Amino acid sequence: MTYHPSTVLITGATGDFGKAFCKRYAEIGCKIIVHGRNKDKVEALCAELETETYPLVFDVTDKQASLQALSSVPSKYQNIDLLINNAGGALGLDKAQDALLEDWENMISMNVTGLVRVTNVILKGMANRRKGHIINIGSISGNWPYPGGHVYCATKAFVKQFSLAIRADLQGTNVRVSNIEPGMVETKFSYERFKGDKDRADAVYANTTPLTAEDIAETVFWTSTLPQHVNINTLEVMPTKQTFAGLVTERDD
Ligand SMILES: NC(=O)c1ccc[n+]([C@@H]2O[C@H](COP(=O)([O-])OP(=O)(O)OC[C@H]3O[C@@H](n4cnc5c(N)ncnc54)[C@H](OP(=O)(O)O)[C@@H]3O)[C@@H](O)[C@H]2O)c1
């Protein structure tokens, strides 16, 4: 029997994936906790969604703000049965030896520390209620290294292994954990990675057919609405036109 979550917390809801997730869960009438770091964007999105919403504003790299905001969720929204850990992204594409330490630290802070912090807070309630699903937004970058991927790839490899490991601990609680690993999706991801260089970001998606945020929303929605005895552990999804580069061999002259 198909399962429908009732209260969904979506981190990074103001991003392109996040908005598509919100719209998909609003269609089935879920209560949605709409998270973002920008108050105006969060409130605008809440006003747009045709379902009950609660705005939650904090920067995932700020421990105190995160814990304070998460503990302020009103009782009506506290029984979260789906957490989508989506906030995050990549910074820079220079070679490791040329990369900025600040970018590395920020990626770890958003994609790893921020994600485990939200998970730690929400997971306890799910385990106690013996009901819930954590869907982490990983990436093919966690499986397939590429030049310039360094810390971004490593953070998404962390997300994959964290997802699998907590699943092992959750045996006996009925709580599900899934890691969804998208390939190239046209969003503002590249714009953020290239720090506002629109031409460089647009070039990533030029003359090909990337996935859309709606494709990933449908994948996540399917994963979360399978009957409760079914757990998708990891699911990698790429555009048909994207595939593997193979290994590179350096040759002497
Ligand atoms: N697009 C792809 O090709 C792709 C592929 C694989 C995985 N992913 C992953 O998918 C997720 C969503 O990415 P997207 O493509 O939808 O990009 P996006 O449109 O740039 O969305 C990123 C979201 O994360 C939020 N965010 C970033 N840093 C934050 C922080 N410190 N505190 C709170 N929120 C923060 C952003 O907030 P603002 O709206 O305020 O900027 C935005 O809501 C990311 O985890 C990304 O790594 C993307």
For ligand 1, say whether the CB of 88 is within 6 Å of any of its atoms: yes
What is the 252 CA–ligand 1 centroid distance (Å)?
41
**Closest ligand 1 atom to 152 CA:** 47
What tokens appear for 223 in the block? 């994963």
**Closest ligand 1 atom to 37 CA:** 33
Mean pLDDT computed over 236-253: 94
Is there a catalytic annotation at residue 191? no
Residues 6+ apart with CB under 8 A from 109: 60, 61
For residue 175, pLDDT beyond 90: yes
Residues 6+ apart with CB under 8 A from 106: 61, 91
Mutate to test the pocket of ligand 1, among 135, 179, 187 (most ligand atoms within 8 A of CB): 187
For ligand 1, say whether the CB of 210 is within 6 Å of any of its atoms: no
136 beta partners: 85, 179
What is the 253 CA–ligand 1 centroid distance (Å)?
43
Please tell me the predicted confidence (pLDDT) of residue 1. 66
pLDDT band at 124 (very low <50, low <70, confident <90, very high): very high
What is the 187 CA–ligand 1 centroid distance (Å)?
9
Question: What percent of the chain clears pLDDT 90, i.e. is strictly above it?
Answer: 98
Residues 6+ apart with CB under 8 A from 154: none
Please tell me the predicted confidence (pLDDT) of residue 16. 98
**Closest ligand 1 atom to 192 CA:** 20
Mutate to test the pocket of ligand 1, among 10, 17, 208 (most ligand atoms within 8 A of CB): 17
For residue 243, pLDDT beyond 80: yes
For ligand 1, say whether the CB of 59 is within 6 Å of any of its atoms: yes
pLDDT band at 246 (very low <50, low <70, confident <90, very high): confident
50-53 LR contacts (CB < 8 Å, sep 24+): 50/26, 51/25, 51/26
**Closest ligand 1 atom to 191 CA:** 20
- Give the residue ranges of DSSP H helices in 32-100: 39-48, 63-71
Mean pLDDT computed over 168-194: 98
pLDDT band at 193 (very low <50, low <70, confident <90, very high): very high
For residue 245, pLDDT beyond 90: no
Domains, the chain: 7-237 (3.40.50.720)
Determine if the pTM surpasses 0.75.
Answer: yes
What is the Cα–Cα distance from 61 to 49, expressed in whole angstroms?
26
Query: Among the options 77, 152, 191, 205, which is catalytic?
Result: 152
